[in-house]
Structure 1
Amino acid sequence: MPQTDTSAADAPAAPAASGLPAMRHRLSTRIISLSLAVLLAVLGMISGTLWLSWKLEGAGAAINDAGSLRMRANRVAIELTLAQARQSNALAMQVQALDTTLAQLKKGNPARPLFLPDEPAIHAQMARVTHDWQQRLRPLALPSDGHDAAPDQYIAMLPGFVAQADRLVGMIEQDSARKTDLLRLSQAALAAMACVGTVAVIYLLYLWIILPVLRLQDGLRRMAAREFSLRLPVESRDEFGTLSEGFNRMAGELQGLYQDLEARVAQKTAELERHNRDLESLYDMAAFLNQASDAEAMARGFLERVVRQFDAEGGSVRVLDSRHGRMHLLAATGLPAALADAEACAAADACHCGDATREAVVTIVDLRTAQRGGVIARDGTACERSGFQALAAFRIESQRGATGVFALHFRAPRTLPPSDRQLLETLGQHLGTALEHLRLSATARQLAVVEERNLVAQGLHDSIAQGLNYLNLQVQLLDAAVTRDDLAETREIVPMLRHGVEESYQDVRELLNNFRSRLGTGELRPAVEETVERFRRQCRTEAALTIDENAGSGAGRPLSPEQQLQVLFILQEALSNVRKHAMAAHVAVALSHGREFRLVVQDDGEGFDPDELATRADAHIGLNIMRERAARLGAQLQVQAAAGRGVRIELILAATAQADTRPDTKTTQTTGIQS
């Protein structure tokens, strides 16, 4: 392979024209032209060989038919001899066949193919053979003037005709031999042309494609070795010339870019490291804020991490009291006690930190030249008097808005880049969200305690308070009877007091059992059975429990432990009302869990008038408690009552309000009623 000089000095000047090369200079045009020329030459050679083969095939058929003339002439002689002894049409058929063969040889048949060669001598010999047959032999075999056939004369003249036919066959064979030689010569020429053409095509393709590709490959290899001064020679005006020009332009651009590449890489590396540090700081801060459970400890840990990361000499976290316009110190580090407790720092509108609650970010490079309201304080700010010369304050905000501010104090002038300011703003938002989460969690706990106390108070009011009120009335009656020395009334009141005390004691035990009730997964049925059994022990009312086994076979969603507990409380309250007020002989409890969960408690006691109940609803706290628990469940509580006809209480929990059946990380729920 010839050596390629790729130096820039020896490269010829690139053409002035840019873009794609002209049509006549394109590599595709040359390849297509070469391919078409080779195709035409090959097709010409193949067509010639096909034509010679076709001619040889026709000449072969002519040789066969010309050779058959001798055989057919002899058959005519045989039939002519036999025709004197018997009558037969075979002679005419043989003569007709010989006439047909001569006609086909003369006319030719391209379909077979069958034709005589185009040599004049062959056609002249064919004319002599035809003349001998038509003028000399055929009249002797089949005379047309009514004379008899002359077999002896026919046989005498037959050798001459056969000789002429042999000569015709020989001439056709000689012509076929010449054409066969010509066919072999054309095939040899075609093979030689294929070899020469292949070599020529390979050479041209090497010059047009392979050599430029090798140049480009060598250029890319040297370019990969950072030899950016390399330039490829532009020796053509085709696509490879355009590629070489583009390669040279690329090399020039890379040479210019590589000069400051190291500086850019160092800059990007520093930015990436800074982003990684910021992400680590955010992750560490988020993990700490999620673990902290106390606001002061959270603020102190937050401040320590921020001060350490940004090399500050001090810092503070203050919460905003927007009602009174003041900021209360939550945590501080590195600050003198006088600065931490300074009255000026407590007012939201009296210091730079307070400005951050309105402007989000306040950064002061030098406190000695800082202004507030366009005026520089003569005696300096509190931070400056404490030895700090720079300040950066950032707002602590949550969904409620600004909730406070945290500040970093520096003893030397300090400038924070935009990336650090953005990180500190984000940290302030994280701190605000964490503090808001603590506040909401505390509020939620308070609400839960208040709600539970409300339920406890309702239960005490409906049971123990009424019992104690009854005992108070009986004690007053007993005191009056003792004062009157009415022994009979005293004896009548004492059993009533004993009964009231026992009932209050039972109420206390029942409330304690209710408050201690805890249900795990799938424990509703045994808890219901235990509640009904305890009711049977507490009073003489006959209680019947029915649980629909088929409905509990998994048709509905299972209840969560909290839902099961509320259902149990409603059942306990309903049975407690039956025991205290109904004076019933029978009570029926039915439980079913199909697509809907149903709890029915029905007694045959005294009942009540719903209209009268509506006018003094405060006296029936038990029904209100059941309604509140049903509302918490998202269920319907239906109360059907009539004076003297008992009470029917039905709790219906729709399928959409029931617990989800998906397994939880803490509790895997199963069917609330187990069959």
Structure 2
Amino acid sequence: MPDSDTDTDTAPAADSSQFPDAAGLTPPRHRLSTRIILLSLASLLVVLTMIAGTLWLSWKLEGAGAAINDAGSLRMRANRVAIELGLANAGQAGARDAQIQAQDATLAQLRKGNPVRPLFLPDEPAIHEQLDRVAYDWQHELRPLAQAGNGVAYVQALPAFVAEADRLVMLIEHDSARKTDLLRLSQAGLAAIACVGTVAVIYLLYLWIILPVLRLQDGLRRMAAREFSLRLPVETRDEFGTLNAGFNRMAAELQDLYQDLAARVASKTAELERQNRDLETLYDMAAFLNQARDAEAMARGFLQRVMGQFDADGGSVRVMDAQHGKLHLLASAGLPAALAESGNCMAVDACHCGDATREGVVAIADLRRTTRRPLLPQPSPCTREGFTAIAAFRIESQRGAIGTFALHFHAPRELPPSDRQLLDTLAQHLGIALEHLRLSASARQLAVVEERNLVAQGLHDSIAQGLNFLNLQVQLLSDAVDRDDLAEAREIVPMLRHGVEESYQDVRELLNNFRSRLTPGELRPAVEETVERFRRQCRTKATLVIDDHGNRLPLQPEQQLQVLFILQEALSNVRKHAMAAHVTVSLSHGHDFRLVVEDDGEGFDPAELGRDGEAHVGLNIMRERAARLHARLAIDARPGRGVRIELVLPHGDQAAGAERQSTAGPAMPRLFQESLP
């Protein structure tokens, strides 16, 4: 066996280009694991083949033994038939026939075989020919004599049949002896293969694993002694070849590190400083973009910071109008007025900045050497204004490309990959910030629209219906005046006065509702004030029950305001429609927040409410506000038995509402209030 202490410095090293590097993957056909698996499979296949052969021989021998037994029984049964023929006068004809049938069955089974027992004849033609002769002698000579009861002739023919049966048994025994010898030989071969295979596997494993490990161990020991000129031979294409190649590269790198350590430390220090500077730039830019509230100011501040970081002479930020294929200038810095005005609105395909919306990054070190393009004027506007280099980057958001920003340089400039990556990341930050501004504006607009929709529904449910009633009464009054019917006019005037007062009360109620402003913890006084105002507006007796001893965090202002609006709408419905003598308002804040408004008025039929839902705008408004809270609103009503309205805000939705309040900005009702004069 090779000596593990051989000097590896002088060992011939194979060409490392033929082998996988240390960082790569070894091809499957050259892997050590592949060879070990193939060796194991080959050994297993040989062993299984030998075992299968011995099992097959054993099975054949077992079947042949059963065949010898049945073939020997042919002689016995033939003699029993002779005995039964001699005793035929004693009434033994039935036993004779049974022996004949048994003899027939034995011959048939020998011919067909029986794998279950197992029983079958060997696959030798001589044995099958001998069985045919025995069967022929029985079927054509002995069996007819036995059935005829001719015992004398049967006994005379019996010796010849017995001799043929003996010959059949001898042929089977001879074949079984041959197979027994073959079985013993295969077992001996299996033992020999096991011994040789074990030695071969041990030797191969030594060559494949132990010897390379010893070489690596020796190399590591010498490397620890700072013998960095050491190189291990790369003689195989397996994992150890990869390890040896990696070891050699490691030794070369360590040798270079010790020879040029100062230069490497300086290079790494500069790289770390650049990365720290990039991180600081990203942090400062993210802080600025989070504080900006105007897109143009954001873009201008972005350009100032980026131009200062990369010593650019000019810069521009453009947003894309995807519908018309245009780029609109959002902000610029350092660009001549003529260039800024000419580029205020241009086609996407008409400039290098537009190319960035498709390619992501367009960096041109020298504009004077660019290839002419049909849509680009020659020379380009940037070149005419004295710029010779440009770098444009795509501004992206979740909606896709939304614009580009570009840096302009008077002198030719080549941006390294690290700077391109940093600028591309800054462009993504700018895209996210612009998209955030757009979404914030959309959210504010949506909040105003939704709150105005609720106001419109409230007006429709209260003032619009009152004005419609007044319009009808005015028409009736006009008709009565035309007819000089003073009596009818006197009846209409009080109704007009009552309608005007009712509309006035509705207007005051709406103004009071939308002037409500709450902060955490102010829900109870607001509810008490609402119930007290209800008591002043009508004669219905109102009872307020508040249980706020659950030691739970108070609702957020937005949630409190929606609960207060639902309570005001419910009490307004009681005042206008219920004709109730008593109403109870229950407020509890245990594990869940619960508001219950229950009256003993006339009630209504829920089926009619389903058929005529548009006429009950107040209930629809309460449902919409409950859906905004993610709360459950249950309305239980029966004709003549009053109405029970229950609002339940689960504990989990209270926390979710707090999170939405902290991230969504001002509450929607306040947006509406601030839009009022």
TM-score range, shorter chain: 0.5 to 0.7
Cα distance, 1:255–1:515 mapped onto 2, change above 3 Å: closer
Contact 1:602–1:649 at 8 Å: present in 2 too?
yes
Q: How does 1:126-525 map to 2 (within 5 A)?
A: 247=225, 249=227, 257-342=257-342, 346-371=346-371, 379-525=378-524
- Structure-1 separation of matches of 2:289 and 2:588: 47
2:582 alignment partner in structure 1: 586
- Structure-2 separation of matches of 1:378 and 1:647: 77
SS in 2 for 1:324: coil
Which structure shows the bigger proportion of residues in helix conformation? 2
Q: CA RMSD in A?
A: 3.3
SS in 1 for 2:293: coil
Q: How does 1:616-631 map to 2 (within 5 A)?
A: 616-631=612-627
- Structure-2 separation of matches of 1:377 and 1:563: 57
SS in 2 for 1:249: coil
TM-score, normalised to structure 2, is 0.58
Aligned-residue offset at 1:367: 1.1
- Structure-2 separation of matches of 1:538 and 1:245: 97
Cα distance, 1:275–1:593 mapped onto 2, change above 3 Å: closer
Can you list the C-alpha shifts for 1:103-142, whole angstroms capped at 9, x where unaligned? xxxxxxxxxxxxxxxxxxxxxxxxxxxxxxxxxxxxxxxx
Aligned-residue offset at 1:256: 6.0
Write the letter of the residue equivalent to 1:605.
G
Can you list the C-alpha shifts for 1:567-614, whole angstroms capped at 9, x where unaligned? 221111111011111222222223333434332222222222222222
Question: Which of 638, 643, 646 is the equivalent residue of 2:642?
Answer: 646
- Structure-2 separation of matches of 1:521 and 1:575: 23
Cα distance, 1:255–1:660 mapped onto 2, change above 3 Å: closer
- Structure-2 separation of matches of 1:345 and 1:654: 53
Write the letter of the residue equivalent to 2:545.
T
- Structure-2 separation of matches of 1:571 and 1:596: 17
Contact 2:328–2:344 at 8 Å: present in 1 too?
no
Deviates more, 1:304-313 or 1:475-484: 475-484
Aligned residues: 429
Write the letter of the residue equivalent to 1:626.
M
Write the letter of the residue equivalent to 2:619.
L
Q: Which has the larger radius of gyration?
A: 1
SS in 2 for 1:412: coil
SS in 2 for 1:346: strand
SS in 1 for 2:348: coil
- Structure-1 separation of matches of 2:377 and 2:581: 93
Write the letter of the residue equivalent to 2:615.
A
- Structure-2 separation of matches of 1:435 and 1:278: 22
SS in 1 for 2:460: helix
- Structure-1 separation of matches of 2:500 and 2:290: 52
1:564 alignment partner in structure 2: 560
Cα distance, 1:255–1:474 mapped onto 2, change above 3 Å: closer
- Structure-2 separation of matches of 1:378 and 1:403: 25
Cα distance, 1:481–1:369 mapped onto 2, change above 3 Å: same
Aligned-residue offset at 1:248: 5.9
Contact 2:556–2:658 at 8 Å: present in 1 too?
no
Aligned-residue offset at 1:365: 1.3
TM-score, normalised to structure 1, is 0.58
SS in 2 for 1:349: helix
Cα distance, 1:292–1:559 mapped onto 2, change above 3 Å: closer
Aligned-residue offset at 1:337: 2.7
SS in 1 for 2:396: strand
Cα distance, 1:662–1:392 mapped onto 2, change above 3 Å: closer
- Structure-2 separation of matches of 1:510 and 1:245: 91
Aligned-residue offset at 1:429: 0.7
Aligned-residue offset at 1:623: 0.6
Cα distance, 1:577–1:244 mapped onto 2, change above 3 Å: closer
Aligned-residue offset at 1:379: 3.1
Aligned-residue offset at 1:317: 0.8
Cα distance, 1:380–1:444 mapped onto 2, change above 3 Å: same
Contact 2:541–2:581 at 8 Å: present in 1 too?
yes
Aligned-residue offset at 1:666: 8.6
- Structure-2 separation of matches of 1:266 and 1:566: 64
Cα distance, 1:262–1:487 mapped onto 2, change above 3 Å: same
SS in 1 for 2:350: coil
Write the letter of the residue equivalent to 1:508.
V
Aligned-residue offset at 1:299: 0.7
- Structure-2 separation of matches of 1:415 and 1:480: 90
Can you list the C-alpha shifts for 1:535-568, whole angstroms capped at 9, x where unaligned? 1110111222333x4xx43276653333232222
1:119 alignment partner in structure 2: none
Cα distance, 1:635–1:250 mapped onto 2, change above 3 Å: same
Contact 2:329–2:344 at 8 Å: present in 1 too?
no
Kindly, what percent of the aligned residue pairs are identical?
73
SS in 2 for 1:297: helix
Deviates more, 1:295-304 or 1:460-469: 460-469
Aligned-residue offset at 1:244: 9.6
- Structure-2 separation of matches of 1:359 and 1:244: 53
